[in-house]
Amino acid sequence: MLLQIAIEAIQPYVSLSVEQIKDLLEIPPSAEMGDVAFPCYTLSKIQKQAPHTIAEQLARQMQLEGIQVTAEGPYVNLRYDRGYYSNILMQQMQHPHYGQLNIGHGKKVIIDMSSPNIAKPFGIGHLRSTMIGSALYNMYQMAGYEVVSVNHLGDWGTQFGKQITAYKRWGNDEALIENPIQESLRLYVAFHDQVEHDVTLEPEAREWFRRLESGDEEAVRLWKYFVEISMQEFNRMYTRLHVSFDHVLGESFYNDKMAAVVQALEEKELLERSEGALVVRLDEEGMPPCLIMKSDGSTIYPTRDLATAFYRHEVMQGDQLLYVVGGEQKLHFEQVFAVLKKMGATWVDHCRHVHFGLMKFEGKKMSTRRGKIVQLEEVLDEAIARALQVIEDKNPDLPNKHDVAEAVGIGAIVFGDLKNNRVNEVDFSLEDALNFEGETGPYLQYTYTRTQSLILKSKVTEDRVTDDRVTEDEQALLNTPQEQPVNPLGESGWELLKVLTRYSQVLTRGILNNEPSVLARYALEVAQAFNYYYNKERILEQNHDLRTARLTLTQLTGDSLQRTMHILGIRTPNRM
């Protein structure tokens, strides 16, 4: 908002477009220098004059109401009149549709997210795809896009041959009924433990998967059973995380759509034989061949992902296709996108692999094959228990404290992930995530409750001072005219307001980079600016106009925190 005002102020005096000015504007390193700075280096190249000379000329020319313009070396600095602009900005921010963008109007984006594998526990590692995808869903929706989320379940492939083989050899029906996911994991780990010593296991697994693809009754029955028990587990986790999907379509959904892809590849003469398998050569792209069909005639997941892409573009009518999948699949998606381009799918330019780094737990990489997996449910339970203990120690009479503990515990885990740049590796620490100070979810939630507490106190104060029993001294103080300061918010309040006005820019940048951490860091910036303001200024002032302005800023801060945390998937209790 402030940048837009600056653009409109500068544009009549320079030979640059609005976009060029926008790209050049900077925030000065200190508030004393001004609120917005315009560097004159670009104009220097055009006008063949020294940047500082141009800055001085512009500062003399620009006579603007409510804006002090000064030259500082090669920069033109704009300092806004706090009293005038704080009122204008806060009025704009109170509009019901403030914060909603329209950059996505008429566009549909399909987000592939979460995608856990059937017959495996929902581990802490699944959190990244699930919550990054959920945050992106909310971000795009706030920008006016039509958004569709798809949970692309790993419910097909040779892993099911292994699972069925392990069940047939070592399965325990009673254990499966009592604890289906843990027993399924035990069987899967047992297969990988024994495969090094038993050469018959791999061929047997391949045969079971072949039977599954052929529609064998026993293979299909067992496959459906593993899918059913897994979905029960996953849905419990999604409910706790407050995540939902528009479609849950596993890899198996595309089984009857792969033949058309293979036929199209044959017609375009893109398929080649390689050691009995069918591949698409990608030598010109500097990549190894993309395997389309194995030598035994069974499909592989690049084939399914090709069919998936066509379905999402042609049937679901997606303008953009996002794949929120770990960075270890980077080559896979590069190959799939390269094959789509060879097939003439020009829309592949709007396909993005939104990759992310590994999540480790206390420095250790997790592996399903070896059973080294930290289950998300255990982490959620521990986080909630620790949050509840803090509440019991500090505010034992808090109403609905179990609900608050759940919001705080789960919020801590979610924010502990999303505050990191998605491409970075995350070493998850529950103790760090639950800290009520520093860059954490509980810190944001506590700051939000502080804004709500001030608003509640203000209402109590208003009721008291309008009561018939108000003292004569209090009434005299309220009625005494007081000189209004130039800046009713105080300088720390003005700096907070400037942070709040940057929301739309932050959201836009987050969408352009498919990066939720941009919003997470922004929420921290808002919270830090508010807490500084809270400690510097008296918000519940006796003077009515001052109190109104400062409480309005407090309300806007609460709204901003709530809106941003909602996008990130973090709940905002009113009390903690």
Q: How far is Cα 69 from Cα 9, in angstroms, rounded to an integer?
A: 10
| Residue 574 structure tokens | 């009113």
Contact indicator for 150, 384 with CB cutoff of 8 Å: no
Contact indicator for 264, 343 with CB cutoff of 8 Å: yes
Give the dihedral sign, CA 117/120/124/130: positive
Per-residue pLDDT of the chain (576 residues; tens, 9 = 90+): 889 999 999 999 999 999 999 999 999 988 889 999 999 999 999 999 999 999 999 999 998 889 999 999 999 999 999 999 999 999 999 998 888 899 999 999 999 999 998 888 888 878 999 999 999 999 999 999 999 999 999 999 888 999 999 999 999 888 888 888 889 889 988 999 999 899 999 999 989 998 998 999 999 999 999 999 899 889 999 999 999 999 999 999 999 999 999 999 999 999 999 989 999 999 999 999 999 998 877 778 899 999 999 999 999 999 999 999 999 999 999 999 999 999 999 999 999 999 999 887 766 565 544 445 678 888 899 999 999 999 999 999 999 999 999 999 999 999 999 999 999 998 878 888 888 888 999 999 999 999 999 999 998 766 544 444 444 544 444 444 444 557 899 999 999 999 999 999 999 999 999 999 999 999 999 999 999 999 999 999 989 999 999 999 999 999 999 999 999 999 999 999
Write the CATH number of the domain with boundaries 432-568. Answer: 1.10.730.10
| Residue 502 structure tokens | 């940057």
Q: How far is Cα 576 from Cα 573, in angstroms, rounded to an integer?
A: 7
Contact indicator for 395, 404 with CB cutoff of 8 Å: no
Give the dihedral sign, CA 358/361/364/368: negative
Q: How far is Cα 192 from Cα 165, in angstroms, rounded to an integer?
A: 11
DSSP class per residue in 190-233: HHHHHTTT-TTHHHHHHHHHHHHHTT-HHHHHHHHHHHHHHHHH
Q: How far is Cα 45 from Cα 16, in angstroms, rounded to an integer?
A: 12
**CATH number among 3.40.50.300, 3.40.50.720, 3.30.1360.70, 3.10.20.30, domain 2-80:** 3.30.1360.70
Backbone angles phi, psi at 204, to 5 degrees: -65, -40
Q: How far is Cα 558 from Cα 556, in angstroms, rounded to an integer?
A: 5
Could you report the per-residue pLDDT of 108-164, keeping only the tens digit for each? 999 999 999 888 888 887 899 999 999 999 999 999 999 999 999 999 988 899 999
Contact indicator for 117, 152 with CB cutoff of 8 Å: no
**CA 62 distance to own-chain centroid:** 41
**CATH number among 3.40.718.10, 3.40.50.300, 3.40.50.620, 3.10.450.50, domain 108-360:** 3.40.50.620
Backbone angles phi, psi at 198, to 5 degrees: -120, 105
Backbone angles phi, psi at 320, to 5 degrees: -130, 140
3-state secondary structure of 433: helix
- So where are the chain's domains? 2-80, 108-360, 432-568
Q: How far is Cα 444 from Cα 524, in angstroms, rounded to an integer?
A: 7
Q: Among 327, 381, 546, which residue's Cα sits nearest to residue 458?
A: 546
Contact indicator for 25, 69 with CB cutoff of 8 Å: no
271 DSSP β-pair partners: 280
Q: How far is Cα 327 from Cα 115, in angstroms, rounded to an integer?
A: 14
**CA 47 distance to own-chain centroid:** 44
Whole-number Cα distances in Å, 290 to 64, 193, 266, 282, 456 = 62, 30, 14, 7, 62
Task: Give the DSSP H/E element, type plus range, for residue 184.
Answer: helix 180-194
Contact indicator for 352, 514 with CB cutoff of 8 Å: yes
Whole-number Cα distances in Å, 370 to 230, 301, 366, 456 = 19, 23, 9, 53
Contact indicator for 157, 299 with CB cutoff of 8 Å: no
Sole residue written with tokens 């986080």: 383
